[in-house]
C-alpha cells in the first residue's frame, strides 16, 4: 500500500511539472500488460485537492488491475473460437462507419427550417395523436399576505377583462405579492398547480368545470386564482404545447427520408454499373 501511495504521489507531482525527458514510466503491471503514467493523463480534474487526486488515481489503478486480471483469466479459460469476435467487431465497425456517414450527410443536407404552417398542418392532420395525459389549465394567480390592504383591489383587477386593469394588476403584484403568475397564454399542468397552491379536490374534472375564480386561505397567505381556460385529460392537446414535439417529428421524418434516398441512390448506382453480384 505504501508503495502504491508513493507511486501516486510521484505521479501527481510529475503531472504538475510536466514530463521529464519525454519518459513514460510504467506504474502498474498485470502479467505482461503494463499501465503507463501517460494513460492517467486527464483523469484528475484541474483544481482537485491532493487527497482527492490520490483517491481518484488509486481507484483508477485498482480498477485497471482488476480488469486485466479478469481478462487474463478469461483468456486462459476460453477456447480460440470463444475468443474470436472478428464478426462482431466487423459488424460494430460497419455500424459506426454508416452512423458517421449518415451524421455527416444530415449535417450537410438536412433542411432544419420548419415553418409554423408546416407545424399547424401536421397538427391538424394528426390531432388524434396528441391526446392529453393530464388536465391542464391557463390561470392568473396571486399569493398575498392575508393582511395586505390591497386584497380587494388586486381581486378586482384579477377578474377584470379591461387591459388597463391587467396593467395595474402587474404593477401591484410587483409591489406586494409574495408570488404571482399572470401569463394568459401558457398552459400549466393542474397537478403542478396543486403542488404549489393548497387546492383540495377529489375530482379535477368536476372542479375545473365548476370553478372560474377561487380564493384559498392558508394562514398567513391568501391565494387568488382566476381560471382562464382548461382542458381535461384524454382531450386533444393544444398546438402551443405540442409545437416543439411536432417540430422534432417533422425533422426526424426528414432525416429518415434523407437517409432512405441516400441508400436508394447508392443501391441504384451500384445496380446500374454492375458493382455487386449475387451468386
Residues facing residue 222 across a β-bridge: 144, 217
Query: What does the alpha-carbon distance between residue 187 and residue 177 come to, in Å, rounded to a whole number?
Result: 22
Q: What is the pLDDT of residues 207-240, one digit of tens each?
A: 999 999 999 999 999 999 999 999 999 999 999 9
Query: What does the alpha-carbon distance between residue 120 and residue 118 come to, in Å, rounded to a whole number?
Result: 6
Query: What does the alpha-carbon distance between residue 6 and residue 28 come to, in Å, rounded to a whole number?
Result: 12
What is the pLDDT tens value at each position of the chain, 279 positions in all? 445 544 554 454 444 444 444 467 899 999 999 999 999 899 999 999 999 999 999 999 999 999 999 999 999 999 999 999 999 999 999 999 999 999 999 999 999 999 999 999 999 999 999 999 999 999 999 999 999 999 999 999 999 989 899 999 999 999 999 999 999 999 999 999 999 899 988 899 999 999 999 999 999 999 999 999 999 999 999 999 999 999 999 999 999 999 999 999 999 999 999 988 888
- 225, 218 in Cβ contact below 8 A? no
Grid cell of 108 as nine digits = 450537410
Smallest Cα–Cα separation from 211: which of 141, 277, 151, 152? 141
Residues in CB range of 27: below 8 A, 6 or more apart: 7, 11, 35, 36, 37, 40, 61
Give CATH for domain 132-231: 3.10.50
Residues facing residue 231 across a β-bridge: 136
- 185, 139 in Cβ contact below 8 A? no
Q: What is the pLDDT of residues 33-57, one digit of tens each?
A: 999 999 989 999 999 999 999 999 9
Provide the residue ranges of all domains of the chain, joining segments of one domain with +: 2-77, 132-231
Q: What is the pLDDT of residues 61-81, one digit of tens each?
A: 999 999 999 999 999 999 999
- 209, 124 in Cβ contact below 8 A? no
Q: What is the DSSP string of 127-178?
A: GGG-B-SS-EEEEEEEEEETT-TTHHHHHHHHH---HHHHHHHHHHHHHH-S
Amino acid at each position: 500500500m505504501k508503495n502504491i501511495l508513493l507511486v501516486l504521489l510521484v505521479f501527481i507531482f510529475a503531472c504538475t511539472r510536466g514530463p521529464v525527458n519525454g519518459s513514460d514510466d510504467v506504474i502498474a503491471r498485470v502479467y505482461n500488460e503494463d499501465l503507463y503514467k501517460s494513460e492517467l493523463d486527464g483523469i484528475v480534474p484541474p483544481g482537485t485537492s491532493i487527497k482527492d487526486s490520490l483517491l481518484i488515481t488509486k481507484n483508477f489503478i485498482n480498477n485497471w488491475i482488476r480488469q486485466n486480471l479478469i481478462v487474463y483469466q478469461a483468456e486462459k479459460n476460453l477456447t480460440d473460437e470463444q475468443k474470436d469476435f472478428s464478426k462482431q467487431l466487423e459488424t460494430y465497425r460497419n455500424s459506426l462507419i454508416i452512423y458517421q456517414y449518415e451524421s455527416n450527410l444530415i449535417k450537410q443536407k438536412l433542411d432544419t427550417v420548419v415553418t409554423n404552417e408546416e407545424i399547424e398542418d401536421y397538427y391538424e392532420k394528426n390531432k388524434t395523436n396528441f391526446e392529453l395525459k393530464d388536465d391542464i389549465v391557463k390561470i392568473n394567480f396571486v399569493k398575498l399576505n392575508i393582511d395586505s390592504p390591497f386584497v380587494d383591489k388586486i381581486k378586482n383587477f384579477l377578474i377584470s377583462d379591461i387591459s388597463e386593469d391587467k396593467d395595474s394588476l402587474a404593477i401591484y403584484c410587483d409591489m406586494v405579492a409574495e408570488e404571482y403568475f399572470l401569463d394568459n397564454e401558457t398552459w400549466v399542468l393542474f397537478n403542478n398547480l396543486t403542488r404549489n397552491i393548497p387546492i383540495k379536490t377529489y375530482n379535477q374534472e368536476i372542479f375545473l368545470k365548476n370553478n372560474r375564480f377561487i380564493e384559498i386561505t392558508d394562514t398567513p397567505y391568501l391565494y387568488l386564482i382566476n381560471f382562464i381556460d382548461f382542458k381535461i385529460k384524454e382531450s386533444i392537446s393544444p398546438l402551443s404545447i405540442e409545437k416543439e414535439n411536432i417540430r422534432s417529428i417533422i425533422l426526424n421524418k426528414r432525416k429518415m427520408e434523407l437517409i432512405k434516398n441516400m441508400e436508394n441512390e447508392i443501391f441504384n448506382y451500384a445496380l446500374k454499373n454492375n458493382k455487386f453480384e449475387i451468386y
